[in-house]
Amino acid sequence: DAGVTQTPRHEVAEKGQTIILKCEPVSGHNDLFWYRQTKIQGLELLSYFRSKSLMEDGGAFKDRFKAEMLNSSFSTLKIQPTEPKDSAVYLCASSLRGGAEQFFGPGTRLTVL
Amino acid sequence: QQQVRQSSQSLTVWEGETAILNCSYENSAFDYFPWYQQFPGEGPALLIAIRSVSDKKEDGRFTIFFNKREKNLSLHIKDSQPGDSATYFCAASDTGNYKYVFGAGTRLKVIA
């Protein structure tokens, strides 16, 4: 059974560019989460979907970050425009239902120059 | 506001020793506490979890001790191995709110 897939694994962007990160959750999972991971802030929740409906859009991340779940097996995270402070690892996770174990993908390491 | 706090950023132990990683929380409504293990270049993976109705959960070499009154818990890794070297995250959630709040992580290094 395939786990959570994330592409690309690495992304380098110039300041001001638009980047789109992709995630495929575990088949059959209803909940999907996007996190940002940095050494200083740790794991921060960006967005949370339940059965494709956006339940949380990350508060402080709202202005330049937009997550979408086009269907139950695919989600994107768009950052527009990118800034150097966005350099981080972006993790996608899915779970079967609310409160169940979250399965994480390997992450996308984003570097913004 | 740091709702889940891990007391050590890093911890080094010798192979064979018991590593103890501590975690505390603020929100009394939290009732589920998973520990995640993360190796470099990988996403976190669930290691072991406990619900607040229990005070101990054991799985092989890994044991969680939970103190509801003091709002803290610890992960004990018995007979530590170099392969246990990783970052460990304590997390918390409450029933009905399916988001996890993660601690900052403890980087464990086990020396052979």
Give how far A67 is from chain B: nearest CA, Å: 16
- Over residues A79-93, the pLDDT tens digits come to 999 999 999 999 999
Predicted confidence at residue A66, as pLDDT, reads 93
Cα B84-B85-B87 angle, rounded to 5 deg? 105
With an 8 Å Cβ cutoff, is A96 touching chain B?
no
- Which chain A residues contact residue B92 at CB under 8 A? none
Give how far B33 is from chain A: nearest CA, Å: 11
With an 8 Å Cβ cutoff, is A20 touching chain B?
no
Residue A98 has pLDDT above 80, yes or no: no
- Which chain A residues contact residue B95 at CB under 8 A? 99
Per-residue pLDDT tens listing for chain B (112 residues)? 569 999 999 999 999 999 999 999 999 999 999 999 999 999 999 999 999 999 999 999 999 999 999 999 999 999 999 999 999 999 999 877 778 899 999 999 999 9
Per-residue HEC secondary structure of chain A comes to CCCCEEECCEEEECCCCCEEEEEECCCCCCEEEEEEEECCCEEEEEEEEECCEEEECCHHHCCCEEEEEEECCEEEEEECCCCHHHCEEEEEEEECCCCCCCEECCCEEEEEC
Cα A7-A9-A15 angle, rounded to 5 deg? 95
d(CA B102, CA B105): 8
Predicted confidence at residue A1, as pLDDT, reads 61
Find how far residue B52's CA is from the centre of its chain: 14
- Over residues A51-66, the pLDDT tens digits come to 888 888 877 767 899 9
Higher pLDDT, A44 or B64: B64
Structure tokens at A60: 């402080």
Indicate which of B100, B101, B106 best probes the interface with A, i.e. most A CBs within 10 Å of its own CB. Answer: B100
- Which residue of chain A has the CA closest to B102? A43
- Which chain A residues contact residue B49 at CB under 8 A? 101
d(CA A44, CA B38): 15
d(CA A5, CA A105): 6
Find how far residue A17's CA is from the centre of its chain: 17
Please tell me which of the candidates B43, B93, B98 has its beta carbon nearest to residue A104: B43
